[in-house]
Amino acid sequence: MHPAKAGLTENKKMPSKKLIIANWKMNKGLVQSQQFSDELKSYIEKHKVIDAEIILCPPFTSLEAVNRKFNGTAVKLGAQNMHQESIGAYTGEISAGMLKSCGCEFVILGHSERRQYFNETNALINKKVLKALDEGLKPIVCIGENLQEHDDKLTEPVIEEQISVCLQHVSEEGMANVTIAYEPVWAIGTGKNATAHQVESVHNFLRKKLKKMYNEEISKNTKIVYGGSVTPENAKELFAPQTVNGGLIGGASLEVDKFVAIINSAH
Ligand code: 13P
């Protein structure tokens, strides 16, 4: 089949496209974010061969600027975190409504760095997931085992607990807007990615769990992406299994060349 000429035009007919999410973490000020967006935009307009769904998650301070660049195109905007309440005296926090007002459609929740450095628990992440859905944002829920748990062969019980608690009270309808990101903590920023086989087996385990929690359809249709040291070199292999719907990219999403190479290896 001829590759879809997605370009910057929205194409809602291809749900099986891989999903490539850029998590810039605490990188890029306003000017750098605008430069990246201009470069990515001109690449997409020039080549028009990108057959993937792209979501950019810049820091809060660049959301509006990136939105201005891509508003109305197939490139979507996401935030990296949000508060679990809608409004109030929470100095320094950002609400779902604020994110929506900047053009966000998605929000990353429960990233391991939020869990590790800001003490976010599964119960708190669950509150955020419910709030995001309630306010019309699509959560990208991160789960994954740490190195000790990995070495102790506890991956399955750990992610089972994470997914059960993080998705508590999320309805079947709500699940249509939830993406799960499997990010083994030992693979994040370490240059040590999980193997395609490991990723495939964890994703299959998660789908079995979703079937138990919901039903066959949700187990099949929920997007599950992999994150952790994805590079242009390993992306093709990691995204090859059908059960892997794409990737959540940290370091390699900061440079347009590398990010585009990852996008291009997704089809
Ligand atoms: P790296 O791609 O830098 O390992 O980061 C992965 C990640 O944490 C994405 O959310």
Give the tens place of pLDDT for each residue, 155-166.
999 999 999 999
Report helix angle 196-213 to 155-166, nearest 10.
Answer: 40
Atom of ligand 1 nearest to the CA of 253: 2
Residue 37 in contact with ligand 1 by CB distance below 6 A: no
Question: Do residues 91 and 97 lie in contact, with contact meaning Cβ atoms separated by under 8 Å?
Answer: no
| Mean pLDDT (the chain, rounded) | 93
Q: How far is the CA of 186 from the centre of ligand 1 (A)?
A: 10
Q: What is the pLDDT of residues 77-95, one digit of tens each?
A: 999 999 999 999 999 999 9
pLDDT at residue number 64: 98
Q: Return the CATH superfamily for domain 18-265.
A: Aldolase class I (3.20.20.70)
* CA-nearest residue, atom 7 of ligand 1: 250
Which residue spans within the chain are E strands per DSSP? 18-23, 52-57, 75-79, 106-109, 138-143, 179-182, 223-227, 246-249
Q: Which two tokens stand for residue 8?
A: 């910057």
Sequence ranges of the domains in the chain: 18-265
Cβ neighbours around 37 below 10 Å, total: 22
- Of the candidates 83, 111, 150, 203, the residue annotated as catalytic is 111
Atom of ligand 1 nearest to the CA of 231: 2
Active site residue 111: yes
pLDDT at residue number 266: 83
Burial (0-12, 13-18, 19+ Cβ within 10 Å), 12:
exposed
Q: What is the pTM of this model?
A: 0.94
pLDDT at residue number 51: 78
**pLDDT under 70: residue ranges of the chain:** 1-15, 48-50
pLDDT at residue number 83: 98
Backbone φ and ψ of 109, nearest 5°:
-130, 140
pLDDT at residue number 45: 85
* CA-nearest residue, atom 9 of ligand 1: 250
Active site residue 183: yes
